[in-house]
Chain A
Amino acid sequence: MDIAASLAARSYGAARPLTSPEPDVAGGPGASLSQAAQSFAQVLDRADTTAQQAMAGNADPHALVASLSEAQMAVETAVAVRDKVVEAYLEILRMPV
């Protein structure tokens, strides 16, 4: 019993590297996707910092409004793209095999 459990753990450990994401291939679709995700995160970070500074009275309200609308547009874009991807995935799932 004990042997089987350790065996299972070992084979699980051996299988784990297979499922880990591959390092980015330069120029591949993964690279551009991660770049897009990074710039999205950057926009949100900037909005966060500006909002905090504005609450503390250090940032200009114009900068706050500009970065918040930028963040809003970024989130809307991301949500629209995600909806499209999920829709495509569901379409594949519904395909009769």
Chain B
Amino acid sequence: MSTMDRTLALSASGMQAQAMRLRHVSENIANADTPGYRRKTIAFEPLSLPGDGMGEATGVRAGRVSLDRTDLTQIYDPGNILADETGHYLGSNVDVMVEIADAREAQRSYEANLRMFDQARQMSQSLIGLLRR
């Protein structure tokens, strides 16, 4: 296990975590109009990977899913079958704007990890390329 291999594995763990984040964002957006749906959030947590002899490598992974505890939105729609006597029913607490911002953040983090991956690969390839002269 060389240091470059570790870099590749760490970047891959970051990309995987961001992909998981995007998955939950899409789940939230898909359920934005579902009555009673609480938006899901995930916290990232450190993931220790096998080291390379120069200290341990700490990657990242998506941790447990938790539900957002903010109140569900009250939607006024007396004709709805779920409406109570005041004409309101509980919608979801998904804010699509927040979800889109989260998705964009996931995309940028993914790109950063991808660049790191590519850079580590190019560096080791040019190192090996020295042998070919």
**Interface size class of chain A, counting residues whose CB lies under 8 Å from the partner chain:** 10 to 19
In whole angstroms, how far apart are the Cα atoms of A77 and B121 in the complex? 13
Q: Which of A63, A66, A70, A80 contacts B128 (CB 8 A)?
A: A80
Contact flags A58-87 to B (C-beta < 8 A → 1, else 0): 001011011001100100110011011000
Given A70-B8, A73-B121: A62 touches B15 (CB 8 Å cut-off): yes
Q: Do A60 and B128 touch across chains, with their CB atoms under 8 A apart?
A: no
Of the residues A63, A70, A73, A83, contact of B125 by C-beta under 8 Å = A73
Instruction: Indicate if the CB atoms of B5 and A70 lie closer than 8 Å.
Output: yes
Residues in chain A near residue B9, CB distance under 8 A: 66
Q: Chain B at the A interface: mostly helix, strand, loop or mixed?
A: helix
Does B19 reach chain A (CB closer than 8 Å)? yes
| B-chain residues with CB within 8 Å of residue A63 when the two chains form the complex | 12, 16
Across-interface contacts of A77 in B (CB, < 8 A): 128, 131
Set of chain B residues within 8 Å of A81, measured between Cβ atoms? 131
CB distance from A55 to the nearest CB of B (A): 18
Which A residues are CB-close (under 8 A) to B8?
66, 69-70
CA distance A82 to B5 in the complex (A): 21
Nearest to A84 among chain B residues (CB) is B131
| Given contacts A63-B12, A65-B12, A73 and B4 within 8 Å (CB-CB) | yes
Apart from A70-B5, A73-B4, what 4 extra A-B contacts exist at CB < 8 Å?
A: A62-B13, A69-B8, A69-B121, A76-B128
